[in-house]
């Protein structure tokens, strides 16, 4: 039989293979933990107006899985809060809340997969200079070979 079980084939030892009942096929990449992903997107003394902060873009050769994005204004109930992700340059609003109460976090959880160039972001309108804004992301990183 031809395929990865035949040591005379050139791809015999190249990656993981599986037989689907008809032929040998290269298996998909397995999700594998490389490192945790935690990022601080807050600001303890922003200027007045709309606050926006984007996270670090995923570097080439990695995939990040974001499990939570959170935002809280510890100083006052202000304008709308948006928790977002960018996938291929397209901004996707994952969660939006109008004027959360002081100290009450806006949180989205799930499994948001980011590839090279993608990132997450937080935004709040109506911020007053001197507000204490806490924002974070939590997840994990994987290496792509």
64-101 tens-digit pLDDT: 999 999 999 999 999 999 999 999 989 999 999 999 99
Beta bridge partners of 83: 95, 122
Residue 133 is part of a domain; what is its CATH number? 2.60.120.340
**Does residue 22 share a domain with residue 3?**
yes
CA atoms within 13 A on the CB side of 35: 7
Distance CA 143, CA 145 (A): 6
Does 3 share its domain with 57? no
Residues 54 and 106 occupy one common structural domain: yes
User: For position 137, what pLDDT does the model report?
Assistant: 97
Residue 130 has pLDDT above 60, yes or no: yes
Q: Which of 120, 131, 51 is nearest to 83 (CA)?
A: 120
pLDDT for 114 beyond 80: yes
Q: Tell me what the mean pLDDT of segment 43-60 comes to.
A: 96
Task: Give the integer Cα–Cα distance in Å for 42 and 123.
Answer: 10
The band of 1, judged by pLDDT with boundaries at 50, 70 and 90, is: very low
> How many domains, in total, are found in the chain?
2
């Amino acid at each position: 039989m031809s395929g990865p079980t035949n040591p005379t084939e050139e791809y015999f030892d190249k990656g993981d293979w599986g037989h689907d009942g008809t032929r040998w096929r290269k298996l998909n990449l397995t999700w594998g933990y490389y490192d945790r992903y935690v990022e601080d997107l807050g600001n303890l003394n922003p200027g007045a107006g709309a606050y926006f902060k984007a996270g670090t873009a995923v570097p080439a050769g990695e995939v990040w899985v974001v499990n939570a994005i959170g935002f809280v204004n510890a100083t006052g109930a202000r304008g709308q809060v948006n928790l977002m992700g960018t996938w291929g340059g397209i901004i996707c609003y994952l969660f939006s809340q109008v004027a959360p109460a002081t100290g009450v976090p806006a949180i989205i959880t799930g499994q948001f997969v980011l590839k090279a160039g993608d990132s997450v972001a937080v935004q709040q309108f109506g911020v007053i200079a001197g507000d204490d804004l806490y924002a974070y992301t939590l997840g994990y990183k994987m290496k792509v070979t």
